[in-house]
Every structure is written in C-alpha cells, then in structure tokens.
Structure 1
Amino acid sequence: MSVSASPAPSSDPAAPARTTAKPAGPSAAELLAFVRATAADETLVSSLPLDPEGRTWIRLEGPAGSEAWLIGWPPGTGTGWHDHGGSHGAFATAAGALKEDSLATRLPTEGWKTLELAEGVDRERVLEAGDGRAFGEHHVHEVRNESGTRHAVSVHAYYPPLPLMRRYSRTGQVLRLEEVELPEEWQ
C-alpha cells in the first residue's frame, strides 16, 4: 500500500507565505495600460464635445471595476491641488499636452488643516500626446493645460473608484486642506 502526504505548512514565521490569490482590482500598471490604449482610440477621443471655457468629460467603463474618464481641457484650465481619496490610478494624454505638478512625499490623510512642505518635494512633468503615468494611493498633484490656444484631452482611471477627493490650496511651501468632495459632486 502506498501513502502520499502533502508537506505540513511551515510554522516558521520567516517562511514565505504561499498565496496564489491576485489582489482585487487592477494594478497601477494595468490602469496605465488601459489609459494609454484608450487615449490612442482616435474615434473615442474625437467623440468628446469640447467647450471653449470649461472642462468636459465622459465617464468610461474602466477595467475590473475601476472608474475611468475621458476629459477635455480648454486652454488655461486645470484641476488645482488634490488627491484621490486613497485610490491609485493612471492618466494619459490623448491630444495636446498637460503639465503635472506633484509632491514626492506622503501626506497624512487626516488630522491636519495646514502643512508646511519640506524643500525639494516638488516634481513637475509635461505629458505630451501618447505619454502617461501611474501613481499610488497617496498621490497629491495638480494637472493643467498651459496652452493658450489648444485643447488637451486625457484619459484617467482609478481603483478603487474614487471614494472622495481632497482639494488643497497652496501658497509657497504651505499646503492647506480646503474641502473634501464626495462622488455625487462630480458624477
């Protein structure tokens, strides 16, 4: 008679965990692949109505339960400083160019109204048509179309779907929490 047995799980706390479950929802890299592919869809991008004075948007079906948007940016418009309420995400420029200013530091999510930022935390980049970037759940940034004559269009995706957005004002190195927006305020 032959008997086979599976090895007993290790009781060594330093032993690597044996997990095969994939984390729920798309990763930042998967969101980046989605926004880049969507930004390359010329038919979809050209279907967005553009307003000369205000941003326009269309909600899209994002991958694996994520929230996604196609957004039109008239010349000179922007988001102001904000975060994504703990969601990670990605965005890609489909037309024109967008400038992103971001903070290379993790901010506390609660318990403060005003923070003085350390020197050297500022980052900036310009995303031309076809460029994209992913970001983590603690990302704080502002995005704007600095062109004086040309619309920009971009695709954004977030997971989990945005539970809230915190909006900030900034004067020099001082960042101030101004308001917390809930989804019903932008959907």
Structure 2
Amino acid sequence: MPAGPVTAPAPAGPTEAALLAFVRRVAADDALVSSLPLDPEGRTWLRLAGPEGSEAWLIGWPPGTGTGWHDHGGSRGAFATARGTLTEHALAARLPTEGWKTLQLADGIDRSRRLGEGRGRAFGPHHVHEVLNGTPDEHAVSVHAYYPPLPLMRRYSRTGDVLRLEEVERPGEWE
C-alpha cells in the first residue's frame, strides 16, 4: 500500500496565533498592567509566565525610549500594546543569521506600523525590528511573549540601508 503524503510535524510550543492571543489577553488585564512600576527615564519590566513554556514580559516604556534594531535569536513571538502607543519598524525580508557583519538592505523592505492600546502583532523566527515609544510625554506599556524562550538576541545598528551586527546578547544580559 503506498504511503500518504509526508507532512512536517507542527512545531512544539504555542503557535504565533496563540502567543498573540496571550499578549492581547494580558494587555487587557488592567490590574496587572497597573502593577508595573514606571520609571521616568528607563524601561521597566516584569517577567510573566507565558503559555506552554514560553517566555513573557510586561514592559514599561518612558517617552522617547526604544529597543534599537534586534532579532529574537530564532524564537517566534508576539507583542501587544496595553497603554499608550508604540511604533514598530521592521524588515520584510528573511536575513541570514550567521556569516555576516554588514548587510546592504534592498529597497522596499521597510515596514512601519503604529500599535495603539489593544493592538498587537505576531512574528516568525526571523523577524528583525525595533520598537519605539515616540511620544513626547506619555508612558506606554506592552506585553511580549516568545517561544522558545529567547536563546539570544542579536543587536544591530542601522545607517540608511546598511544594517550592521553590533553584538549578541545571551539570557541574563537583559534580565
């Protein structure tokens, strides 16, 4: 009897959609969001238990703060804004993860979106972006979840269409 089509097994852990549902649900929890202490000068965070072994964070963003360009070391993820407005700048291209220090980016790969309260987005394991609170006088708060838990984060600098790998951070260096 001939074998049927071979399908790849589903990846372990929560899907991108499940991570997005989780961050939206947590972002709507006013009591939890209000419990995060906010610092007028630096980001604050609280580690949360994410679904199915994922890593999750509640993050406070003072006006004018951001992450800088980074990726999530091969983890898929999602984030949602609980308070305020965040802006995400992302690259709509899959970048190689190894073997380069500087890349010339092609035209047309930049994406930008504003995420107000209750809005979120999910992303795959090769997502490169920066997240900013560009408002001059309002804190923002967001919820983030990643699976598998972040093995590393690559940090980049960007000048025009040139992206440069600056450093690789391991867990414990950002906690």
Shorter-chain TM-score: what band? over 0.9
Deviation at 1:43, TM superposition (A): 0.2
Task: Look up the equivalent residue of 2:145 and give its one-letter code.
Answer: A
Residues 41-56 of structure 1 aligned to structure 2 (within 5 Å): 41-56=29-44
- The alignment covers a number of residue pairs equal to 175
Secondary structure in 2 matching 1:149? coil
SS at 1:75's partner residue?
A: coil
Aligned partner letter, 1:17: V
1:111-163 CA-to-partner distances (Å, cap 9, x unmatched) read 00000000000000000000000000000000000010000000000000000
- Structure 1 residue 145 and structure 2 residue 129: aligned? no
Amino acid at match of 2:84: G
> Aligned ranges for residues 56-95 of structure 1 at < 5 Å?
56-95=44-83
Q: How does 1:36-185 map to 2 (within 5 A)?
A: 36-185=24-173
Which blocks of at least 5 consecutive residues in structure 2 are unaligned?
Answer: none
Deviation of the 1:22 alpha carbon: 5.0
Segments ≥4 residues shifted beyond 6 Å: none
Is the partner of 1:64 in helix, strand or coil?
helix
Name the CA distance, whole Å, in 2 between partners of 1:23 and 1:125.
28
Q: Measure how far apart 1:166 and its partner are.
A: 0.2
- Structure 2 distance, partners of 1:23, 1:152, is 32
- Structure 1 residue 23 displacement after superposition: 3.3
Q: Distance in 2 between matches of 1:119 and 1:174?
A: 11
For 2:12 and 2:92, locate their aligned partners in 1 and report how far apart those are by CA, in whole Å: 26
For structure 1, the residue ranges without an aligned partner over 5 or more in a row are: 1-7
Is the aligned partner of 1:17 residue 2:11?
no
**What do you get for the CA RMSD once the two structures are aligned?**
1.2
1:18 positional shift: 7.1
Q: Indicate the SS of the match to 1:185.
A: coil
Shift in CA distance, 41/119, structure 1 to aligned 2, threshold 3 Å? same
TM superposition score normalised by structure 2:
0.97
User: SS at the partner of 1:153?
Assistant: strand
Q: What letter corresponds to residue 143 of structure 2 in structure 1? A: V
Higher Cα Rg, which structure: 1
SS in structure 1 of the partner of residue 98 of structure 2: coil
1:31-52: CA deviations, max 9, x gaps?
0000000000000000000000
TM-score when scaled to structure 1?
A: 0.91
